[in-house]
Structure 1
Amino acid sequence: MPQTTPSDMAFRWSAAAEQPDFVRHGHAVPAAGLDTAAALNFDGFSAYVAAPPPGALPGAFHVAANVALAAYPWNVCPILDVLTLERDGGESGFSVGIDDRGRPRFALVTLSGLHVVNGETALNLHQWHRLVFAFEPEVALSITLDGVEIGRTSISGRYRPSEAAQALIGRTRHEIIPTGPIRPYAHLPITVYFDGLIEGIAVGSGPAPATTAKVEGRADIAPRRLPTGPAGAGRFGATYEHLKYYDGWDRRWRVGEHPDVLVRFDKADYRVVFWRGTNYIPCWVSGDGIWYTNEFNETWGNGATGCAEPMSDKHCAYSHVRIIESHDARVVVHWRYALVDVLDVRPRKDLVSGWSDFSDEVYTIYPDGSATRSITLHSTQPMESHEFQESIVVLGPGQRPEDVLEIEPVTLANMVGQSHTYSWANGRPRHLPEPARANIAMINTKSAQRPYMIVSDAPCLTRDDGAQPGPLFPPYYHETLSEGQSFPWWNHWPTSDIPSDGRRAVAADRASHSSVLTGSEWADYKVTPTSRQRVMLHGLTTRKAEDLVPLAAAWLSPAPINGLSEGASAAFDPLEKAYLLSGSAELSFTLQASEASPVINPAFVLQGWAAGATEMVIDGQVRPEGENLRVGWRHSAERSDLIVWVELSATVPVAVSFRPRR
């Protein structure tokens, strides 16, 4: 606890002592202190202490505090505040606190006006520090950090005693605007709360006590790691989970026991995470913990303040996720969301029905990790400006974009196997023109398992560039880059609750994100007067981008079916990446595989299948159920469908039949 002579004490608060005049608000829990047995853990969302302001301070005085930061504030946050400004009726008092970069700040009013000194050194996160702020009348304000002076400024005039009705520990007196806005009009004021530990605060008359004691000790702050469920490979399938981040964040959510969805794989150590901390925006997570998402639908204008997107749905009021199928053959997850801005406004509202823009995304995921993403935008204006894709890496506390992205972050490839890798070393390129008609994009994360997406290479209509002969992959615009950064970096999402659609990150203190591609365009799958649908194939891979051409061909130009049993029907559905079969109790056909239309791990949906136990025969050989052949059932009120996935690669015709098990 900071030491001050008791007879000279004007104010003293200790987390270890019961003090009736010091009232705790919000969520703050005890933690181990530096000098005493106890500190108070302020959660950064609601916790603060209100108290009577310090008594008379006729001459020199100082403020001493032991603090440890879990994250830097969104703007200057007081440790102790008794400062009033013009909005309160007049300037008086002082405030000591921490700015958005972790640097101490001392503001004080004298008869000559407001004086401010900023410390030149930032506090380390999760580390105890001893701070002393000193006022010498007509001489200086100074700040000492762990016995070393880090800030000093000359002042004039005597101290103007505080007229504040109460002292505040750990929060701002008024709402203020977070620093670092991308779009100031969509970056709104908040009350800023202290995120970390405060052991005690003492305000004493006279000069600050001299100290040379070295401050050491890691603070009692739990690690903050983005949740991914159990480590390692696991049973293939989707499960409802309660994925936990850290206590102060978790306890704010008004949810039940199963709010999140986790998809795991038995063939590889990666997963797909649908977590409320990302507003259910689905993320592929590699075995070494690198998070990636292909974004969502987004729009602008038409009543929106800034961007309208699921990122802004801080309480997941409109964003929901549910498991449609989960069995040995595949997983199907449905994510539905509204396009909403930071003021909870849903733009593009239909004047007749009152409906605004909503989106349904369906993820069909197979045991080999390949997955389709079907995106259906529902809108009165579906062909107006909407975004369908952005390549985003999600970063946990302690990570910067450069920690997870290679300086050559994007490789594009086309269907003839040409590829080109782009470097951001000299700034992000303005265009990515090579190779021609590229439809495969790989994001080069610092992992062996890298995200990829495959789209149709057909001509497409883009929102900004009109008709194009093939897909378009624009690099993220450079205007949001901060000095010295190779990649843009923001922390208004994920896990944040601030009303902002863009805040520049300045430190790796919070969860954050970065992008390299934005607004990718490709051919629509289906358009109606009130909807627009697109589909992609995506996942994680250890292969090179150009090596994904056969996978792309198997999906975009699937092997035709010939010789189908009489009375049966067959079609390939790219939304499910599966052959749909119906019409017979026993099916036989040939997959006409070729170099141009290969077969790679196909799936089959036997619609209305009534044969019960079934066996699959490939080129005359019964393929037993197991790791390489998996089956599952999809039941509805009208029929039951058998789903079959098989590990099989071929560029020559393959004879296939399904029949009752013998």
Structure 2
Amino acid sequence: MINVNKYLILTLCLWTLLSPVRASSSFHSSGYIETEQGIEGELISWWSFDEETGRSALDEIQLVKDSIYGSFEYVPGISGNAIKLDGFRTYIKRDRYDLDQLEGAFTVEAWIALASYPWSWSPVVDCSYERLKGFFFGIGPQGQVGFKIGAGNSWLDITGSMNIPLRKWTHIAAVFEPGKNISMYINGTNVSSVDIKGNFVPQWGGSLTIGRNNGAKTWNEPQFTTSSAYFFLDGILDEIKISSLAKTGQELSDEYAAVGDKPVPALSNRETLPVGPTGSGSFGAFYTRLNYYKEWDDLWRVSDVPDLFVRFDQSPVQFVFWRGTSFNPCWVTENGIWYTNEWLETWGSDVVSCAEPIMDRHCRYSHVRLIENTDARVVIHWRYALSDALYDFVAISDDGRGEWCDEFHIIYPDQVGVRKMELHFSRPERRHDWVEQIVVLPPGKYPEDVIERESISLVNMSGEVQKYSWDRDLEIPMPEPAGANMSYVHLNSTYRPFFILSPDPVETVEGTWESPYFRTYASHMARAGYRPDPVPSAYGWWNHWPVAQVPGDGRWVITPDRPSHFNLTTFVQWKDYEYTDQKRTRIMLQGMTDKKADELVPLAKSWLQAPDMKITSDAYKGGQYDQSERAYLMEKTDQGNSDPCSFVLDATGESPLINPAIIIKNWGGQRASLSINGEAIAEGEDFRQGIRKGTDGEDLILWIRLDRTEAVQFILDPAEGR
């Protein structure tokens, strides 16, 4: 008998230790205030995230550890710890979650602090099945709070009348009362109440997910539909509870008020897109890793040198090739405004929406490499495929390889360079968009924050200027001034982007024009149903690029919660520089300037109508000006001859000499000394040189800061070089 009693006592002790603890006071041990009723047994599930349990989240009521997938972090929350989800791949899942305890009324609630709104509806808790059974409690793409539930013979979809803010702690709740109503609350305030009929229809034996849909969804956007898509919450969750009672508005209001001052959510800073370090300030190109924010950076399986940027020693601007833009090069102003002249783009029935390098969000095909890096110039090669958002190649019918582009960017110390675009095209030949003028924005910025309303000036070779203002009467064509071949963008910065094209007539598969073709793009030009109504900006403004990792195209911005971009022009066309059976080449002069729009004309003349070179040394030949290099090309013909190299550049008012570059093939390994019109020029800011080593010899590359409209004599002496 004594042994039996000992056994019963031991069993009772073990049962007490292993049973879930039910607190009897109004405070949980974490310090979070609860109603007496909730603690005493009405809670069905509770994820407080206070215990750091590795890759699992503890349901403190059911004592189940639910699996955590993806990248996450425990951070300070409303009470104790909270869990931060990365917005790309992080979610919590229980494979089987029985809802048999929710036979009557129930409440679902949570604290949430979002870094950005989800692309489409993403759950705090999802235990639904095919819009038939169970329930979904989550956030919509504009910050709406939604509760979707099977009740009676219907699937009900209720959305609150208010949106939750970004980067602030918010308490959200949904209350279900069978046969009566569904009420939704934000911070204890009722934001929706709908009368209903019928009881809750649970999903038996289905899964429960937190932070991601428990099943793939179809994402319908006006320009791109994605099947089998999942949507993830980007932010912090805390104190998720499911309780088997209908909490009153007063109880929820009291819960919210009891927390008092809310902590600042531990969310990553995303307000500034990354640029290269300034370092010594020397001119050149540098491999580096341009980190943005931790959750995005952690996605990339790359080394410490995946990105590339060009720095200038005479100005604070940079030229950046970054994974976040799929390596599409962007000019960055002194105050951090990003701008790009786009990329090659095409379309057709063989791809979804369009084919362009920004669809390559993982940089599977897009890559960048440094070809030359001297004090005189930088040459960067960017290669990319024309594929759609599903990674399908365009135009594979020709040889099965699709279309590719090689871009060469030849950049000089005056932040001006040549962009050479080589399109390897398939037949039958199709049209391409060669340039769109695009401004890239970080979260929190509107287009109107970074650009003047008179956004673009077009300029012709006579110096005539026409400004275009983005207002309701802006039209698509940009006919003035006649023969325009230069574009200047009025960013809210000291240094502003520009490009210069050949003014010659255009006759290509894209169309026939007497001079380069420019056309605007503004939000009011988009067809109904494609753009939001009302639009948040006068500009066409989208956030499917940059940085975004979901497949998509043409997703208009409603709220600036993510990095985004807006267009100024589209389908800019000019003459081909070269054309063969398999390759089309175009060139432009591009850069940044602190001058006015009409002051581009002398630079344009120096490139398009470069002064003639007259070589006066017997050991050298050539002297042709190559627009695609922005350089004069010479060659040393007698390797044993050490006589100086002399030549004259015959500048005039119509053929000005502005910052010339000179390449002398087979020069050798020596550096050169320079005199101009008999005056020695010291190597430094105004005279820069470099040696390019190649398979056939060593070439001298020179860049000289000069602005002349009369003949200039140059003498290069290898004997005095270092």
The answer for the alignment partner of 2:634 in structure 1 is 581
Q: Kindly indicate whether the alpha-carbon contact (under 8 Å) linking 1:2 and 1:65 is maintained by their aligned counterparts in 2.
A: no
User: In structure 2, do the counterparts of structure 1 residues 182 and 643 end up closer, same or farther at CA, with 3 Å as the change threshold?
Assistant: farther
**Residue 264 of structure 1, CA deviation:** 0.8
Alignment of 1:263 onto 2:310: yes
The answer for the alignment partner of 2:505 in structure 1 is 459
1:659 alignment partner AA: D
Q: Kindly indicate whether the alpha-carbon contact (under 8 Å) linking 1:568 and 1:587 is maintained by their aligned counterparts in 2.
A: no
Please give the alpha-carbon distance, in whole angstroms, between the structure 1 residues aligned to 2:489 and 2:290: 26
**Residue 317 of structure 1, CA deviation:** 1.1
Alignment of 1:545 onto 2:597: yes
Q: Among residues 137, 145, 157, which one is paired with 2:178 in the alignment?
A: 137
Pairing 1:618-629 to 2, within 5 Å after superposition: 618-629=676-687
The answer for the alignment partner of 2:25 in structure 1 is none
Q: Among residues 107, 123, 128, which one is paired with 1:62 in the alignment?
A: 107
Pairing 1:37-436 to 2, within 5 Å after superposition: 38-51=81-94, 52-85=97-130, 91-178=132-219, 181-185=221-225, 187-208=226-247, 209-212=251-254, 213=257, 216-224=262-270, 225-230=272-277, 234-301=281-348, 303-351=350-398, 353-381=399-427, 383-436=429-482
**Residue 401 of structure 1, CA deviation:** 1.9
2:604 alignment partner AA: A
Q: Among residues 599, 604, 607, which one is paired with 2:662 in the alignment?
A: 604
Please give the alpha-carbon distance, in whole angstroms, between the structure 1 residues aligned to 2:482 and 2:82: 61
What SS class does the counterpart of residue 652 from structure 2 fall into? coil
What SS class does the counterpart of residue 540 from structure 2 fall into? coil
Please give the alpha-carbon distance, in whole angstroms, between the structure 1 residues aligned to 2:458 and 2:598: 8
Instruction: Render the CA deviation track for 1:600-650: whole Å, top value 9, x for unaligned.
Output: 111111111027131111010111101111111111111111111111100
1:564 alignment partner AA: T
Identity %: 36
Q: Kindly indicate whether the alpha-carbon contact (under 8 Å) linking 1:2 and 1:66 is maintained by their aligned counterparts in 2.
A: no
The answer for the alignment partner of 1:23 in structure 2 is 67
**Residue 304 of structure 1, CA deviation:** 1.6
Q: Kindly indicate whether the alpha-carbon contact (under 8 Å) linking 1:182 and 1:504 is maintained by their aligned counterparts in 2.
A: no
What SS class does the counterpart of residue 300 from structure 1 fall into? coil
Please give the alpha-carbon distance, in whole angstroms, between the structure 2 residues aligned to 1:168 and 1:611: 66
Instruction: Render the CA deviation track for 1:214-244: whole Å, top value 9, x for unaligned.
Output: 5633210010132112258822110111111
Q: Kindly indicate whether the alpha-carbon contact (under 8 Å) linking 1:299 and 1:385 is maintained by their aligned counterparts in 2.
A: yes
1:14 alignment partner AA: S
The answer for the alignment partner of 2:578 in structure 1 is 526
Instruction: Render the CA deviation track for 1:235-263: whole Å, top value 9, x for unaligned.
Output: 21101111111111111112122111011
**Residue 383 of structure 1, CA deviation:** 4.9
Please give the alpha-carbon distance, in whole angstroms, between the structure 2 residues aligned to 1:123 and 1:215: 18
2:73 alignment partner AA: V
1:108 alignment partner AA: I
Alignment of 1:493 onto 2:545: yes
**Residue 62 of structure 1, CA deviation:** 0.9
Instruction: Render the CA deviation track for 1:424-458: whole Å, top value 9, x for unaligned.
Output: 12253221100000000012222221111100001
1:184 alignment partner AA: F
* TM norm structure 1: 0.95
The answer for the alignment partner of 2:674 in structure 1 is 616
What SS class does the counterpart of residue 390 from structure 1 fall into? coil
Instruction: Render the CA deviation track for 1:451-494: whole Å, top value 9, x for unaligned.
Output: 11100001112544x32111011112621543232011111111
What SS class does the counterpart of residue 489 from structure 1 fall into? strand
* TM norm structure 2: 0.87
Give the stretch that moved more between structures: 602-611 or 506-515: 602-611
Please give the alpha-carbon distance, in whole angstroms, between the structure 1 residues aligned to 2:512 and 2:385: 28
Q: Kindly indicate whether the alpha-carbon contact (under 8 Å) linking 1:188 and 1:500 is maintained by their aligned counterparts in 2.
A: no
**Residue 99 of structure 1, CA deviation:** 0.2
The answer for the alignment partner of 2:21 in structure 1 is none
Q: Kindly indicate whether the alpha-carbon contact (under 8 Å) linking 2:71 and 2:89 is maintained by their aligned counterparts in 1.
A: yes
Q: Kindly indicate whether the alpha-carbon contact (under 8 Å) linking 2:615 and 2:623 is maintained by their aligned counterparts in 1.
A: no
Q: Among residues 714, 717, 722, which one is paired with 1:656 in the alignment?
A: 714
1:592 alignment partner AA: D
Q: Among residues 466, 472, 475, which one is paired with 2:520 in the alignment?
A: 475
Please give the alpha-carbon distance, in whole angstroms, between the structure 1 residues aligned to 2:505 and 2:356: 27
Please give the alpha-carbon distance, in whole angstroms, between the structure 1 residues aligned to 2:458 and 2:262: 50
What SS class does the counterpart of residue 21 from structure 1 fall into? strand
Give the stretch that moved more between structures: 614-623 or 294-303: 294-303
Q: Among residues 611, 616, 623, which one is paired with 1:559 in the alignment?
A: 611
Q: Which runs of 4+ in 1 moved over 4 A?
A: none
What SS class does the counterpart of residue 541 from structure 2 fall into? coil
User: In structure 2, do the counterparts of structure 1 residues 41 and 2 end up closer, same or farther at CA, with 3 Å as the change threshold?
Assistant: farther
Instruction: Render the CA deviation track for 1:84-118: whole Å, top value 9, x for unaligned.
Output: 225xxxx2221110000011111122113122221
What SS class does the counterpart of residue 290 from structure 2 fall into? coil
What SS class does the counterpart of residue 654 from structure 1 fall into? strand
What SS class does the counterpart of residue 254 from structure 1 fall into? coil
Greater CA radius of gyration, 1 or 2?
2
Please give the alpha-carbon distance, in whole angstroms, between the structure 1 residues aligned to 2:91 and 2:316: 42
Q: Among residues 470, 488, 491, which one is paired with 1:442 in the alignment?
A: 488
Instruction: Render the CA deviation track for 1:574-608: whole Å, top value 9, x for unaligned.
Output: 11111111135532111111110001111111111
The answer for the alignment partner of 2:77 in structure 1 is 33
Q: Among residues 29, 37, 46, which one is paired with 1:12 in the alignment?
A: 46
Provide structure 1 residue ranges, at least 5 long, that are not aligned to the other structure: none
Q: Kindly indicate whether the alpha-carbon contact (under 8 Å) linking 2:671 and 2:691 is maintained by their aligned counterparts in 1.
A: no
Q: Kindly indicate whether the alpha-carbon contact (under 8 Å) linking 2:207 and 2:214 is maintained by their aligned counterparts in 1.
A: no
Instruction: Render the CA deviation track for 1:344-383: whole Å, top value 9, x for unaligned.
Output: 11121254x4322111000000111001100000113385
2:636 alignment partner AA: G
2:545 alignment partner AA: W
User: In structure 2, do the counterparts of structure 1 residues 515 and 631 end up closer, same or farther at CA, with 3 Å as the change threshold?
Assistant: same
The answer for the alignment partner of 1:572 in structure 2 is 625
Please give the alpha-carbon distance, in whole angstroms, between the structure 1 residues aligned to 2:279 and 2:452: 24
Please give the alpha-carbon distance, in whole angstroms, between the structure 1 residues aligned to 2:300 and 2:531: 33
1:196 alignment partner AA: G
Q: Kindly indicate whether the alpha-carbon contact (under 8 Å) linking 2:99 and 2:204 is maintained by their aligned counterparts in 1.
A: no
Q: Kindly indicate whether the alpha-carbon contact (under 8 Å) linking 1:241 and 1:258 is maintained by their aligned counterparts in 2.
A: yes
